[in-house]
A and B are shown apart, each in its own frame.
Chain A
Amino acid sequence: EPEVTQTPSHQVTQMGQEVILRCVPISNHLYFYWYRQILGQKVEFLVSFYNNEISEKSEIFDDQFSVERPDGSNFTLKIRSTKLEDSAMYFCASRPTGGFGYTFGSGTRLTIV
């Protein structure tokens, strides 16, 4: 079964530092997403990406965040000047054109200290 792969699985970062979360979506999927889940809360949408550009972003996704697809396989989320409240699980997801067969990765647990 094809998977969405996320690295690292855990990341501890000093407040104020930059962090890059990495994802390898399923190879024939064209839509890519980042979601966030603060401990004990629901999954929240951050950003969607299609055709090498952001197609939609939430109010959470401010100038502190950016996404990139640096090559044909990776999809990254960069968080600059991290804050304590950025601590959460970050999930990458992808889906093909048509239908809503989103596949989520196992997540990166980000802890800001």
Chain B
Amino acid sequence: EAQVTQNPRYLITVTGKKLTVTCSQNMNHEYMSWYRQDPGLGLRQIYYSMNVEVTDKGDVPEGYKVSRKEKRNFPLILESPSPNQTSLYFCASSRGDTSNQPQHFGDGTRLSIL
């Protein structure tokens, strides 16, 4: 089954404790991205990657890091999480350029930073 898998689905942690949210897709998609979703603000892009070893900032990259060492994986790293990063996070992938291809989303990771 074609899917985007995120882990963990839920996490409660404390300020400053480094965490990683993993994202894996099994569709051999070139393009992957991370979003956060907050009430009233909709989905906002954090980082995206157009292929292996190619990453770039989205609209709200501050406080986040990503890496793309393999085509299927695109982890999101919070080096020193803060309460304002409490949010619902989604990973998405698509074949090629997102201007023409629909995105496939994971089921989300709900992060609470205390």
- Are the chains A and B members of one assembly? no
Residues of A within 8 A of B (CB): none
